[in-house]
Structure 1
Amino acid sequence: MTTAKTKHKKRTGVIITISLVVLLVTGRLLLPYIVLNYLNKTLANMKGYRGHIEDVDIALIRGAYKIDSIYLHKVDTAKDKETPFFAASSVDLSVEWKALFHGSIVGEMIFERPMIRFTKDKVEPKQVRNDSTGFKNLLDDFMPLKVNRVEINDGEIQYKDEFSKPKVDLALTHTYAQALNLRNSYDSAALLPASLTIRADLYEGKLSLNAKLNPLADDPTFDMNADLKHTNLVKLNEFFQAYAKVDVNKGDFGLYAEVAAKKGNFAGYVKPLIQDLDVLGKEDRKDNVFQKMWEGFVGTVGEVFRNQPKDQVATKVEFKGSLKNPDTNVWSAIYNVLENAFIQALQPSIDHEINIASVDTKKEEKKNFLQKIFDKKDDKDKEKGKAEKKKEKEKKKKEKEKKKNNNKEESSNNV
C-alpha cells in the first residue's frame, strides 16, 4: 500500500516536472513571436508613422532581446506619401550588467548601422523637434527599463530639403557614438557623471565631439568640445547653390567649438576656418551675369578677409549668457574676422579655455575698436535709461512725501 502510494507521488512529480519543462520550452519558443507581434502593433499604432520589424531574438540568460531589421517611415496621409525616417540592421536591448553590480537596474541599447533622416518641411522648424520627440517615445515603448548606456555603430544622420533648388541632401556617415551613465547609476559623486563621445565623417572631413554632462540636473549642465577637420567644400556645392547661390570650386572647411553650461547660464565659442577658398573658376562659365556678379562679390569678400601667409579665412565667435536669453556679440565676431585677416591667423585647434568652471566667471569685457565706435549708441541708451530711472525714483519719492503731508494735515484737522 505504502509502495503504491510512493510510486504515485513519484509519477505525479515526474508529470509536473515534465509539464513545467514543456511549458517553459513552449513559452520560450513562442516568446519571440509574442514580442514581435507586440512591437509591430506598437509601430502600427504610432500616429503619423508606419514601421515594421522583420524578426526578434530572445536571450533570457543575458536578459536581452534583439530586433533584426527595423524601419520607420513618416506618413503624409494628405499626399498619400511615405518618407523614410529611421532604419537599423539590428537593435540590441538588454540589462546593463555594470550598473547592476552597483545596485541599479537599468538598460543599455546598441544600434548597428542605424540611419535617421530629418527633412525640412513647410512646418519647419518644429518638424525636427517633433521627429525627435516621437522617436524618443518609441524607444521608451521598446525598452521597459530606464536607459543608462547607448552605443551606435556605423550610423548615418541625414538632412534633406526637398523644397530647395537644387535639392539639399547632407549626411554624417560612419558615425560612432557612445553615451555612458545617463541615469547616474555609477560615479554618482561626480559633478558631470555622464559622458558622450561621437566620431563621424562629413565629406572627407572628420568630426569629433566629446562631452561630460549631468542629464538628471534641473538645468542643462554640460562641458563639451567639438572639432571638424578637412571637409571638402566642393562636396557641399548643392548646399551652397541652394542657400548662398554660389559655386565653390575649391575649399577646405574646419570648425572648432567649446561650450559649457550650468545653473541656466552658458559660455563658449565657435571658430570656423576655411582654407584655399575659391568660388570663381572655369566651372562657372555657364552662369548668368547676375550669378557671376554675386560669386565675384563673395570671392572678393573672401579675399579681403583672408590671412595671406596661411591662405585661410577664419573668425572666432564668443558667446555667453542665459539659456532663456542667449546673447552673441556681433561686433566681436566682425572684429575677429578683421584681426585674422590683417594681424594673425587663428590656430586650427581647440583653445581649451571653456569648461564648467568658467560659466559663472564674471569679468569686465574689454571693447575692441569696432565696439568702441558702434556701441556708443548703446552706451547713450544705457545712460538715458539710468537717467529716466533716477527721475522716476525722485518722482515717486515726492509723491510719497506729499501723501505723508496730506495725512498729517487731515489728522490735525480731525483734532
Structure 2
Amino acid sequence: MALGLIAVIVVLLIAGSVYLPHWVTDYLNTEIAALDGYDESVQDVDIHLWRSAYAIHGLEIHKHRGERNQPFVAAKTIDLPVEWSALLKGAVVTEIDIHDADFNFSKRQHGQGENWEQVVNAWTPFDINRLALHGGRVEYIDYSAEPNIHLYIDGIDARVTNLRNVEPGGDPTLPSDLSITGQSVGGGQLTVDGRLNMIKSIPDFDIDLELQNASLPAFNDYTSDAAAVDFESGAVGLFSELAAADGQLAGFLKVVATDVSLVSLSERNQNPTNALWESAVSVFMEAFKNQPQDQFAFRIPIEGNLNDPERGSWAAFLSIFDNASGQAFTRDTEGRISFEELLKD
C-alpha cells in the first residue's frame, strides 16, 4: 500500500515536471496578449519543484507597430524562487532575479498607460520582496531625429530589497533599500542609492544619483538636435537628490561640465544662423564658467506634486552665475534634500 502511494506520488511529480513548463509558458503568453498592443514570446520555462521556483528563459515583449522591430523588453532569464527566510516568519513572498535584460524606449514605445502590475502578478501569485537585475541595458532611441539619437545605460546591476517589509528592523518609513550601478553613453559611471516605501499607494522615496565623467562629444547627436550645439571635447556629470513624501516632491538636478570646447566652425559646413548661434553659445560658456575649475554648471530645482512637478528654469539660469562668480559647484550630491524635513512639512 505504502509502495503504491509512493509510486503514485512519483508518477504525479514526473508528469507535473513534464506538463507544467508547457502550461506555464502558454499561461504567460496569454497574460501578455491581454495587454492592448503588446505580445510576448517565451522560449522555455523550467520548473524547480525542489526549491519552489521556476525560471523563464528567452522572454521578449514586443509592441505592435514598435520601433524597428526592437523588443520593448527582452530578458535572457528570469528566476522566481520563494523566499524561504520569509516563509519561516509566516510570510509567503518571492524574489525576482532578472539576468541580461534589455529595455528599449522611444517616443512611440514607452509603456505608459498599460497595466504592467497585472503582468507581474501573472508571473507569480505571491508578493515580491526582492528584485535584482544582473547585467542590463536601458536605451532610449529617437528615430525622428537625423541622425537617430541613442542614449543608454549599460552593464546595469540593480537591487531593491524588503519591498514587502517582511524583514524587521531598519527605517519603518522607508524600509526598502535601492542600489543601481551602470555605465552610460560616453563612459560615464552611474550610481544610484536610495530608500523606498513601495507599500504605499503613492510611494515615498529618498534617492541620490550620480553620473560621473561622461564624454560630452558622445552626446552630440542629442545636443545637436536639441540645441544646435556640438562638442569637440569635455566631460559632464549629473548629480541629483530627490525625495517624495505623501505625493510631494523636492529635489534638484545639477549638471557640471568641465574642459569644454565646441567643434570649430571651420571644421564643418553649416548655415550662417547655426554658426552665429554656436559662436554665441561658445562665448557665453567661456565667459560664465568658473575659471579656476574650468567648469560650466547649473542646478535645476524640482518641487511640487509628484505627478506634475515644477522645474525652476529661471533659478537654473541664475545658478550659472552662482557657479561662475562664487565657489564652484561640487561634483557630487550635496546632502541638501531631507526626506524627514519634507515629511514634516
TM normalised by structure 2 equals 0.91
Cα offset, 1:197, TM superposition:
0.9
Which residue of structure 1 aligns with residue 52 of structure 2? 63
Q: What's the offset of the Cα at 1:45?
A: 4.6
Whole-angstrom distance in 2 between the partners of 1:321 and 1:76: 35
Q: Which of 281, 291, 294 does residue 308 from structure 1 map onto? A: 291
Tell me the equivalent position of 2:331. 348
Q: Which moved more, 1:330-339 or 1:308-317?
A: 330-339
Range 66-75 or range 27-36, more displaced: 27-36
The CA distance in 1 between the partners of 2:314 and 2:43, in whole Å, is 56
Residue correspondence of structure 1 range 173-184 to structure 2 within 5 A: 173-184=154-165
Match of 1:95 among 73, 82, 89: 82
1:11-410 matches, cutoff 5 A? 14-76=3-65, 82-121=69-108, 127-130=110-113, 133-187=114-168, 190-202=172-184, 203-281=186-264, 284-323=267-306, 326-359=309-342
SS of the equivalent of 1:109 reads strand
Separation in structure 2 between the aligned mates of residue 167 and residue 134 of structure 1, nearest angstrom:
30
Distance 1:16 1:38 in 2: 30
Instruction: Check 1:46–1:19 CA distance in 2 against 1; reply closer, same or farther (3 A cut).
Output: same
Quick check: 2:160–2:176 contact (8 Å CA) kept in 1? yes
After superposition, the Cα gap between the structure-2 partners of 1:16 and 1:231, relative to the gap in structure 1 and judged at 3 Å, is: same
The answer on whether the counterparts of 1:43 and 1:52 sit within 8 Å (CA) in structure 2 is: no
How far, CA to CA, are the matches of 1:333 and 1:50 in structure 2?
43
Task: Report the secondary structure of 2:334's partner residue.
Answer: coil
Structure 1 unaligned residues grouped into runs of 5+: 1-11, 363-415
Q: Report if the CA contact (8 A) 2:29-2:39 is conserved.
A: no
Q: Which has the higher helix share?
A: 1
- Contact (CA 8 Å) 1:316, 1:336: kept in 2 or not? yes
How much does 1:99 deviate? 2.1
- Distance in 1 between residues matched to 2:103 and 2:227, nearest whole Å: 26
Q: More deviation in 97-106 or 133-142? A: 133-142
Give the stretch that moved more between structures: 236-245 or 213-222: 213-222
Higher relative contact order (CA 8 A, sep 6+): 2
1:323-346 per-residue CA deviation (whole Å, 9 max, x = no partner) reads 366444444333321121122211
Identity within the alignment, %: 31
Superposed CA deviations along residues 338-367 of structure 1, whole A, max 9, x for unmatched, are 1211222111121112221221567xxxxx
The CA distance in 1 between the partners of 2:223 and 2:24, in whole Å, is 47
Q: From the two aligned structures, give the one with the greater strand fraction.
A: 2
Structure 2 counterpart of 1:293, which letter?
L
Structure 1 residue 215: Cα displacement: 1.2
Render the CA deviation track for 1:200-232: whole Å, top value 9, x for unaligned.
101210111111111123443211111110011
Amino acid in structure 2 at the alignment position of 1:216: I
Structure 2: 5+ residue runs without aligned partners?
Answer: none
Structure 2 match to 1:380:
none
Distance apart, 1:158 and its partner CA: 0.8
Q: RMSD of the alignment, in Å?
A: 2.4
